[in-house]
């Protein structure tokens, strides 16, 4: 089983993906903690059912030293005691930003305000862009039927 389209081999998609990769590098280089970035990427991917991205972010997070316990509990972060208050705020913003269509009015003010208690303006910008980008990547990979399981940590860096 392979993807429906080679996104890097297609001229138009390849041009766009180069810009996406540059944007991703800017977020990686931001002051938003790397662990938070991986948790957010994983949670958005779980919500969107993107097996390729779940595979990638689980493996990248593990390679960066994230624990199996925390990775296994991302889907149930509300009940888990292993996340900091800042991480919990980021995960809530991720869920609200990913599930915009599920509720009228978008991301509630209290969710944004809680995230703003833990992250400065640059970190909030990186967090917001990461959430939006993950939703884009998830949708692309789901439409392409990208197979999961073959990703190697750091493959796209």
In degrees and rounded to multiples of 5, residue 6 shows phi and psi of: -80, 100
Contact status, residue 138 vs residue 53, Cβ threshold 8 Å: yes
pLDDT tens-digit series, residues 129-153: 999 999 999 999 999 998 898 888 8
Angle between helices 34-48 and 85-98 (to 10 degrees): 30
Q: Mind listing the domains of the chain with CATH numbers? A: 32-144 (1.20.1290.10)
pLDDT at 115 over 90: yes
Neighbours of 32 (CB within 10 A): 22
pLDDT tens-digit series, residues 51-106: 999 999 999 999 989 999 999 999 999 999 999 999 999 999 999 999 988 876 78
Confidence at residue 149, expressed as pLDDT on a 0 to 100 scale: 83
State if pTM tops 0.85: yes
Give 2 or 49, the one with higher predicted confidence.
Answer: 49
Write down the residue that tokens 């692309």 correspond to. Answer: 140
Give 102 or 33, the one with higher predicted confidence.
Answer: 33
Contact status, residue 12 vs residue 105, Cβ threshold 8 Å: no
pLDDT tens-digit series, residues 14-25: 899 999 999 999
DSSP state of 99: -
Portion of the chain with pLDDT greater than 90, in percent: 79
Degrees to nearest 5, angle at CA 32 with 28 and 34: 60
């Amino acid at each position: 089983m392979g993807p429906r389209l080679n996104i890097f081999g297609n001229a138009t998609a390849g041009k766009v993906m180069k810009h996406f990769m540059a944007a991703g590098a800017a977020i990686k280089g931001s002051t938003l903690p790397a662990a938070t970035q991986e948790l957010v990427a994983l949670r958005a991917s779980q919500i969107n059912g993107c097996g390729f991205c779940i595979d990638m972010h689980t493996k990248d997070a593990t390679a960066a030293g994230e624990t199996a316990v925390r990775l296994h509990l991302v889907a149930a972060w509300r009940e888990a005691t292993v996340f900091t208050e800042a991480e919990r705020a980021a995960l809530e913003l991720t869920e609200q930003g990913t599930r915009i269509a599920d509720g009228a009015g978008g991301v509630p003010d209290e969710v944004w305000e809680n995230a703003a208690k833990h992250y400065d303006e640059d970190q909030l910008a990186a967090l917001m862009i990461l959430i939006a980008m993950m939703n884009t990547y998830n949708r692309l990979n789901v439409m392409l039927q990208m197979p999961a399981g073959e990703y190697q940590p750091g493959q796209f860096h």
